[in-house]
Structure 1
Amino acid sequence: MTTTTRAAQRPLAEAPRRRSSRRRRGEDLAGYAFLTPWLLGFFLLTVGPMLASLYLSFTRYDLFNAPSWVGLENYQRLFADPRFIDSVQVTTLFAVIGVPVKLAASLAVAMLLNMALGAKGFYRSAFYLPSLVGASVSIAIVWRAIFIDGGIVDRIGQGVGLEAGGWVGDPSRTLPMFILLTVWQFGAPMVIFLAGLKQVPAELYEAASVDGAGPVRRFLSITLPMLSPVIFFNLLLETINAFQVFASAFIISNGTGGPANSTLFYTLYLYIRGFGDFQMGYASAMAWLLVLVVGAITLVFFKTSRSWVHYSGETR
């Protein structure tokens, strides 16, 4: 084949590649066009405000005057603020107690629903229903009405000999009241636990029964290890949610965090500082400290999960 012939055939061979390249570029442009609304929302409504709040956390800003740079002053003031310390203690205690109790209740109910019982669909819907409304204002109002002085819980307590006065105004009872509220809304983790239980092979339980293992032994040796990825997922999500309690605390305490700061959750105090005292720089510092703490907790969870989370088919 002569050089002239090869030179004439080269454009013909490159033509399909050029068409394929143009087609790929067109598909890429179409993909980016469909992603544009999400990208605009992500950068304008998420990344932009986050960067702005990071800048404001190093300033003194009252929403009415231009922010003035103060460096680390806001972060230093945090640890000298008694109400900030109270908010950290309340939120931490709520997360440490409320999350395990909620997960234990959701797992127990999921195991009951996993048994061969009648009307399982009805019970699943009934138990999941409280989670549909979430931590809404209406639920917080109802919860406050139930636990106030003279409410349903107070009258029942008096009937069995407990001291009257309600839970809302008693600093020693407010945290248990919030824990009861979060446990009552166990529907979401319950559904996830139930899905995980459906994936546990029945042959494992049958083999364990043949070997003489009782219910407790089967639960500890089969159910918990097989559910460890689901437990990890629920534990992580519920812990993060526990640090974000706001609506119920705001409604039940009338936005004050009282009595005696017993309902002063972290996000509520952040709101009070930012929109009540107009110390937006201070509130931004609180927000970024919360981001760092939640990120650190998440990192610890993932690092420690290697020792107790077991995935099916995983080789070690």
Structure 2
Amino acid sequence: MTGVTAGAVAAATARPPGSRRTSRRRARLSETLVGYSFAAPNLVLLGVFLLYPLGLAAVLSFSRYSGFGTPEWIGIGNYADLLSDAVFWRALANTTVFTIATLVLSLGLGLALAVLLDKPLPGRPVFRTIVYAPIVVSGVASGLIGVLIFDENTGVVDKALIAAGLPAVPWQSNGTAAMVAVILMTVWGRTGFNMVIYLAGLQGIGPELYEAAELEGAGAWQRFRSITFPLLGPSTFFLLIMNVIYSFQVFDLVFVLTGGGPGNATTMLTTFAYSEAFTTRMQGYAAAIGMVLLVLMLAFAGVQWRLNRGRDVTE
């Protein structure tokens, strides 16, 4: 038995190096093909429902098209028109303000609630469920709830203000008030998601770190600033990307709650593109707006990725 084993080992070691390399290449190729076979259904769906329409939109953005007939190629004409379109710049400014406001408020509230509900409080699962529940409500339903709350004539808020002897707020006729209503409803809907992600990040922080810091005399704020917040960096990075993408793509809530008014005060890039595509029937122009929106989101994601990667390397 020993002789047979020794002979097999000798035969294996006597194989030429080229044969062993060929075997390894075949094994890697087989693993690669198996991996692609599993990914193929998702790749097909991604190509058919995302990449192909995106390519068509990119081509359409260089054309004049009303939805009927044949698109007329005009080069960068649509993009040149955007530069002189006051409504486009207003929509871009509104989208930027909306994104910054909802980002700061929803991330701040989500982090505060996560830290609070990470502690052993009575009824903690119930409170977590209550905070998270709005995320399962659709944008249209959130807009309808916002109408019930902020309507100038029948809204809950104005009725409460009048009952308290305070003046009512013109939520639909004042641009600033309308934007505040949109921001508040968005924060209401996004805070629960942010809280859950931060809670998951908090579970990964070892309690021994807090115990060591407490032994060193660090207070609650010092422990949060030096331990909790830095170690939640990956969670914050993920939420930054997700919330910015959501804010740049917001449509249904704004469309139902304000319709972009009054006077384009709450018009976002998405609602502006919708109006150009289906109201004025300038679908090539709307596609150009969509391409600008895509480039802005990719640029932000790229910058955040580089900054986060640089921070990780430094640390």
Deviations 1:207-229 (A, max 9, x none): 22222221111111111111111
CA distance in 2, matches of 1:288, 1:147: 33
Residue 72 (structure 1) shift: 0.6
Residue 42 (structure 1) shift: 2.0
CA, structure 1 residues 33+235, in 2 after alignment: closer, same or farther (shift >3 Å)? closer
Match of 2:262?
Answer: 259
Residue 27 (structure 1) shift: 8.0
Please, which of 277, 297, 300 is the counterpart of residue 297 of structure 1? 300
| Aligned partner of residue 106 in structure 1, secondary structure | helix
User: Does the 8 Å CA contact 1:148/1:165 hold for their aligned counterparts?
Assistant: no
Residue 251 (structure 1) shift: 0.7
| Aligned partner of residue 63 in structure 1, secondary structure | coil
Please, which of 114, 117, 120 is the counterpart of residue 118 of structure 2? 114
Letter in 1 for 2:117: L
CA distance in 2, matches of 1:211, 1:279: 65
Match of 2:3?
Answer: none
User: Does the 8 Å CA contact 2:182/2:257 hold for their aligned counterparts?
Assistant: no
Letter in 2 for 1:191: V
Please, which of 247, 253, 276 is the counterpart of residue 248 of structure 1? 253
| Aligned partner of residue 169 in structure 1, secondary structure | coil
Deviations 1:249-275 (A, max 9, x none): 11112x4x1102111011000100011
Residue 134 (structure 1) shift: 4.0
CA distance in 2, matches of 1:302, 1:34: 28
Please, which of 157, 164, 177 is the counterpart of residue 168 of structure 2? 164
CA distance in 2, matches of 1:287, 1:218: 44
Q: Does 1:100 align with 2:104?
A: yes
User: Does the 8 Å CA contact 2:142/2:185 hold for their aligned counterparts?
Assistant: no
CA, structure 1 residues 20+75, in 2 after alignment: closer, same or farther (shift >3 Å)? closer
Q: Does 1:234 align with 2:243?
A: no
User: Does the 8 Å CA contact 2:248/2:269 hold for their aligned counterparts?
Assistant: yes
CA distance in 2, matches of 1:265, 1:21: 52
Q: Any residues of structure 2 matched to 1:186-197 within 5 Å, and which?
A: 186-197=191-202
Unpaired runs of at least 5, structure 2: 1-14
User: Does the 8 Å CA contact 1:60/1:67 hold for their aligned counterparts?
Assistant: yes
| Aligned partner of residue 249 in structure 2, secondary structure | coil
| Aligned partner of residue 302 in structure 2, secondary structure | helix
CA RMSD of aligned residues (A): 2.6
User: Does the 8 Å CA contact 1:243/1:266 hold for their aligned counterparts?
Assistant: yes
Residue 140 (structure 1) shift: 0.8
- In terms of mean alpha carbon deviation, does 65-74 or 37-46 score higher? 37-46
| Aligned partner of residue 277 in structure 1, secondary structure | coil
Deviations 1:234-290 (A, max 9, x none): 11111111101100111112x4x1102111011000100011111110011111111
| Aligned partner of residue 136 in structure 2, secondary structure | helix
Residue 181 (structure 1) shift: 1.0
Aligned residues: 297
Residue 121 (structure 1) shift: 1.6
Please, which of 281, 295, 301 is the counterpart of residue 278 of structure 1? 281
| Aligned partner of residue 128 in structure 1, secondary structure | helix
CA distance in 2, matches of 1:112, 1:29: 48
Match of 1:222?
Answer: 227
Residue 40 (structure 1) shift: 2.9
CA distance in 2, matches of 1:218, 1:49: 49
CA distance in 1, matches of 2:27, 2:205: 47
CA distance in 1, matches of 2:307, 2:47: 33
Percent identity of equivalent pairs: 36
TM-score of the pair, normalised by structure 1: 0.85
| Aligned partner of residue 200 in structure 1, secondary structure | coil
| Aligned partner of residue 173 in structure 1, secondary structure | helix
CA distance in 2, matches of 1:22, 1:111: 51
Residue 91 (structure 1) shift: 0.5
CA, structure 1 residues 61+315, in 2 after alignment: closer, same or farther (shift >3 Å)? closer
| Aligned partner of residue 243 in structure 1, secondary structure | helix
Deviations 1:161-219 (A, max 9, x none): 43225413321211111111121121111101001111112122122222222111111
TM-score of the pair, normalised by structure 2: 0.86
Letter in 2 for 1:238: N
Letter in 2 for 1:155: K
Residue 34 (structure 1) shift: 5.2
Please, which of 38, 42, 64 is the counterpart of residue 38 of structure 1? 42
CA, structure 1 residues 22+230, in 2 after alignment: closer, same or farther (shift >3 Å)? closer
- In terms of mean alpha carbon deviation, does 52-61 or 196-205 score higher? 196-205
CA, structure 1 residues 182+22, in 2 after alignment: closer, same or farther (shift >3 Å)? same
